[in-house]
Amino acid sequence: MLEVSGLNSYYGESHILHGIDLTVPAGGRVALIGRNGAGKSTFLKSLMGAGPTARGEIRWDGRNLKAMAPYARARLGMAFVPEDRRILGNLTVFENLKIVRGHTSSGRMATPEEILDQFPLLKPLKERLGGVLSGGQQQLLALARAEISNPRLLLLDEPTEGLAPVIVENMVADVQRICRNGCSLLLCEQSLWFSRRCTDYVHVIDSGRLVFSGLWQELDAAEDVMKRYIGI
């Protein structure tokens, strides 16, 4: 589905990502983990064409996305939940969901009511403005907004940062449900607990370079990687 080869990304003259190779197959659940500043957010923004200057190949079903605008990539089925959530504060929870459009081959999209049934912590808040929601509530709304587009690939950037444990536990179930419905996942996170429960395959990034790629049990066996790059 998604194939990234030799990706180098820049902000101005600052070289952030160095030769990243990464694949997310159809139905795959992949984590990119690393410390703050390692390049995780830059990687997701590069995939969407939303900020950094990216050089290298980003292919979607074999198609090179280099010249494609962010909205066009979304129409292919890429749903990006950024770290800052980008909730529309002057719209209600219901309205934030109602304005979403699906990708070009999404078929029937769920209604806002159907999506809210899947997020019981959000449902009582449907008429509340997005701008007055708590951080956890906004993160759930951002995830619900991504789900309603019926995505083929969900891109999550640090979804658990600063959230209460009960919200994080609910989010595990929500992400797992979305993936069971046929959506692939690329998760950028610092939380090992959350990442393990949502993904099967893991990459470790440090200073813009991949330093490990493998299954979680392989990472557990790589004690030098865990100590040097993750701090365990």
Q: pLDDT tens digit string along 140-181? A: 999 999 999 999 999 999 999 989 998 999 999 999 999 999
Q: Is the pLDDT of residue 232 over 60?
A: no
DSSP classification of residue 129? B
Contact 128, 160 (CB under 8 A): no
User: By C-alpha distance, which of 170, 91, 169 is closest to 129?
Assistant: 91
Q: Which domains does the chain have, with CATH numbers?
A: 2-230 (3.40.50.300)
Q: Is the pLDDT of residue 104 over 80?
A: no
**Which pLDDT value is given to residue 156?**
98
**Which pLDDT value is given to residue 231?**
77
Range 206-228 average pLDDT: 96
**Which pLDDT value is given to residue 219?**
97
Q: What is the band of 101 on the pLDDT scale with cuts at 50, 70, 90?
A: confident
Contact 48, 70 (CB under 8 A): yes
25-67 residue pLDDT tens: 999 999 999 999 999 999 999 999 999 999 999 999 999 998 8
What average pLDDT does the structure give for the chain? 94
